[in-house]
A and B are shown apart, each in its own frame.
Chain A
Amino acid sequence: MKKYKIHILSIIGAFTLLTSCGNNNGQNSSNGALNASAAEKMYVAPGEQDEFYAFMSGGYSGNLTVYGLPSGRMFKEIPVFSQFPTSGYGYSEETKPMLNTSHGFVPWDDSHHPDISQTNGELDGRWIFINGNNTPRIARISLSTFETEEIIEVPNSAGNHSSSFITENTEYVVAGTRFSVPIPQRDMPISDYKGNFKGSLSFISVDPEHGHMDIKFQLMLPGFNYDLSHPGRGKSHGWFFFTTYNTEEAHTLQEVNASQNDKDFIAAVNWKKIEEYVNNGGGTKMPANYAHNVYDESTHTATTTMKKEVVTVDPLKVPGAVYFLPTPKSPHGCDVDPSGEYIIGNGKLSADLTVHSFDNMIAAIEAEKFDGEAYGIPILKFEDVLAGTVKSGGLGPLHTEFDGKGNAYTTFFISSEVVKWKLGSWEVLDRKPSYYSVGHLMIPGGNSRKPFGKYVVALNKITKDRYLPVGPEMEHSAQLYDISGEKMELIYDFPTHGEPHYAAGIPAEILAPKAKKIYRLDENKHPYAINNPGEAKVTRDGNEVHIYMSTIRSHFTPDNIEGIKVGDKVYFHITNHEQDFDVPHGFAMIGQNTSELLVMPGQTKTSVWEPKQVGVWPFYCTDFCSALHQEMQGYVRVSPANSNIELSWSLGD
């Protein structure tokens, strides 16, 4: 039946092509015809599904949004570092621990660089990782539930920006500091920065089965700013490359003072060598204090463990572990091509791209051709490691992705364009404007060994007049280009939620079949879950009241509760007994000083209410669950603090 339909569609498609060819003779430049063909390329008909998932970082929203490509439709906002009243994430008792840090509960962060787990350098679609920039954290999100499962705080870091990038077999998720800081933190004059502050690069191991993260070691480098990073792949697997700026080690007016050196560095880190050193007992155990928050899918509950120690590594104690590659003009993006040979440093104040060669780098290291050192770390000669320079003609290159066909695509912030160029010959093949001032760009798999080079999304920083005006504050704009041909073709323009920095894309066929539809009630191990409505009850322990409640279309069990008193702390533990796809139930209590809950089928969530006034107070289901959703409601009787009314509960009396 389906196949038949596809045949009909392709026949219709063929006719359309034929007729449009006929009609277009001599009027190829006509705007209408161009628009029509662009529309066909991004059009996903009602009922059809997209070819790719795109995960866009939320930037200052702290979250991660899920889009479809080529349609640009948004499917979901996954709460990660920010409280999310829509689902109760960060408000429910189960998820509050996810946002614990050594600074206490931090309800927000700035999420930048999502990266999908890899096996043999190819996207495997198990997890997606993303960094919290402000209070340094790394999160791991399941790609079967599309929920945040784990957040680890990164100590000795500040402005966790050169993160969270994955090594080729997801051995490590890597997090580098943007700000150098005193390590350990201490009270000292800011002006003593130079020579005293340090920059830490953290290698966080990922358990291959459960994905659980653990800081394996922190490499203590000179007090530069570590801006972005990417792993080596293929032959350069085992190395990691970080761009740096502020090698001047300025502590004020960096805008000027950190822009004085003609060249900063790309730090090449041989993490395999350091891993071996640490495995053999190397490194220093340093006291630390950082939160490790893990959400357990079977208990539907997160727990926080405060970790008290971290292994630090002095690079000078591991000869051959770190080298500096001089790179012009405060490089920002640091990207490695699919073969692992080329390391591209985009000097953000430059017109040109600098491309280093991994083979040249290894040859220079072996020949010990050094050009001095910085704090004991050997500096290689720029000319020795350089593979080539892309004379782009643009200004302000930031980030590069690859199509797997020998081409690279680089964004230019200042000249607001995407430039396509050829690896090896360094010639510019095409350029298209972006609207406006593009930051990152994303090709699905474009930072892996196997890119899916069909589309590139440009994620812009400035929106201005692209959409209908909505006042001074607006969403950011993204542009979608078809890159299947020789020239890029702009086919769509759509707003993106928050402030997407980087994004990660993956073919739908990898993720869609394993997306979860429900949680199994018979696997629910939440301590306050009930397996059938007969187990519903209300218990009191001092002024703490626990309500074990269940939901199914279209009622709560129980829905009448008496014996609650002013001053009680009431916990509603709600188990959704539905086992049907897309039938959540919500819960909201009048006057509650928290958000609603949205409880998925088979899940248990807990909401706290501290009644302050005597009366009979209603609660209801907030998700339009069924035709009788409006009837899905109940009452709680609140008596004076000194009343002796017994606890009682009922349904359908």
Chain B
Amino acid sequence: MKKASILMIIGSLLLLGLFIYPLWNIQLGAPQYPEPLGMNIYINGIKGQSEFDIQNIDGLNHYIGMKTLPKPSDMWEFTVFPIVIGGMAALGVIIGLFAFFKKINHRWFIGWFVVMTILGILGMYDFNAWMVDYGTNLDPNAIMKLQNPDGTPMSYKPPLLGHKKLLNFDAYSYPRLGGYLMGLGMLLTLVAFFVGKRSKKNAI
């Protein structure tokens, strides 16, 4: 059980990587942008992959009437996400410590994992909803008003995961180091659960 508890603590601490490294990254490459423009999405805000990328993405987006990219004060998510992540990391560590001193059993690990998974899905849902709004809620006086073949207004929503062609741009959307660390951490807590379960069985 000690081994499982240590895994639980390490797994939870890996969430803190999100305070240093980006969760997600969206890149926009085009013939004119052999070095793609990119934005790194952190839990507390969006930063350009290169220094002026945000300004340059906004500059291009004004042609299709997109809103400018949100600053941390523009979205509640950037205040709430750090609290949620910090809270979950702390909770995971506490659970791990209690388990280490045999105050609680391994079921708490899976409990934490389930809560974190639900929060993660909610986060992705929210992220996707933001991108839908961002990509479709366009200025009616936009310089370029493009339509799909069926006559509906063209959407510029970047993909949630993977690649999508948006006019002359190739948009790529993938997790970054913070996101991978979170995934690895969650995996470790799941492993902690199974290790804990087995050690209990062996103890019996």
Interface residues of A (CB under 8 A from B): 518, 552-553, 578-581, 627-628
**Residues of B close to A553: CB separation below 8 A:** 59
Partner of B52, one of A552, A580, A627, A628: A580
For residue A580, which residues in chain B have a CB less than 8 angstroms away from its CB? 52, 55-56, 59
Given contacts A581-B35, A628-B63, 11 further A-B contacts (CB under 8 A): A518-B52, A578-B59, A579-B51, A579-B55, A579-B56, A580-B52, A580-B55, A580-B56, A580-B59, A627-B63, A628-B143
Contact B59 A552 (CB under 8 A): yes
Q: Which residues of chain A are near B56, meaning CB under 8 Å? A: 579-580
The 9 closest A-B pairs by CB, nearest first: A579-B52, A580-B56, A579-B55, A553-B59, A580-B52, A628-B143, A552-B59, A579-B56, A580-B59
Q: Closest CB of chain B to A547's CB: distance in Å?
A: 23
Which B residues touch A579, using CB under 8 A? 51-52, 55-56
Residues in chain B near residue A628, CB distance under 8 A: 63, 143
Q: How far is the CB of B59 from chain A (nearest CB, A)?
A: 6
Q: Chain B nearest CB: distance from A582 CB in Å? A: 9
Q: Could you tell me the distance between the alpha carbons of A552 and B56 in the complex, rounded to whole angstroms?
A: 11
Q: Which residues of B contact A578 (CB under 8 A)?
A: 59
Taking CB atoms, residues of chain A closer than 8 Å to B59 are 552-553, 578, 580
Give Cα A580 to B36, complex, Å. Answer: 12
Q: How large is the interface on B (under 10, 10 to 19, 20 to 34, 35 or more residues)?
A: under 10
Chain B hits for A552, CB < 8 A? 59
Q: Point out residues on B near A: beta carbons under 8 Å.
A: 35, 51-52, 55-56, 59, 63, 143
> Which residues of the partner chain B approach A518 to less than 8 Å between Cβ atoms?
52
- Bound together, the chains give a CA A2 to CA B145 distance in angstroms of 38
Set of chain A residues within 8 Å of B55, measured between Cβ atoms = 579-580
CA distance A36 to B64 in the complex (A): 49
In the bound assembly, the distance between CA atoms of A627 and B56 in angstroms comes to 15
Q: Which residue from chain A places its CB closest to the CB of B35 in the assembled complex?
A: A581
Task: Give 5 CB contacts A-B under 8 Å.
Answer: A518-B52, A553-B59, A578-B59, A580-B56, A628-B63
Q: Which residue of B lies closest to A47 (CB)?
A: B34
Report the bound CA distance from A363 to B55 in whole Å: 67
Q: In the complex, A69 Cα to B103 Cα: how many Å?
A: 73
A448 to chain B, nearest CB (A): 33
Once bound together, how far apart are the Cα atoms of A579 and B59, in whole Å?
Answer: 10
Minimum distance in angstroms from A140 CB to a CB of chain B: 29
Tell me, in angstroms, the Cα distance from A518 to B35 when the chains sit together: 15
**Bound CA span A455–B35, Å:** 31
Q: Which residue of B lies closest to A582 (CB)?
A: B32
Please name the residue on chain B nearest to A518 by beta carbon.
B52
Once bound together, how far apart are the Cα atoms of A578 and B52, in whole Å?
Answer: 9
Instruction: List, in ascending order, chain A residues with CB within 8 A of B143's CB.
Output: 628
Bound form: Cα–Cα A150–B195 in Å: 71
Inter-chain CA distance A627–B144, complex, in Å, is 10
A580–B37 Cα distance when bound, in Å, is 10
A553 to B55, CA, bound (A): 12
Residues of chain B within 8 A (CB-CB) of A627 are 63
> In angstroms, how far is the closest chain B Cβ from the Cβ of A524?
14
B54 to chain A, nearest CB (A): 10
CA A581 to CA B52, docked complex, whole Å: 10
| A581 to B56 Cα, complex, angstroms | 10
- A518–B55 CA distance with the chains assembled, in angstroms: 14
In the complex, how many angstroms separate the beta carbon of B66 from the nearest chain A beta carbon? 15
Taken together as a complex, chains A and B put the C-alpha atoms of A580 and B35 apart, in Å, by 11
CB distance from A400 to the nearest CB of B (A): 42
Write the chain A residue with the least CB distance to B59: A553
Q: Which of B51, B56, B59 has the most CB of A within 10 A?
A: B59
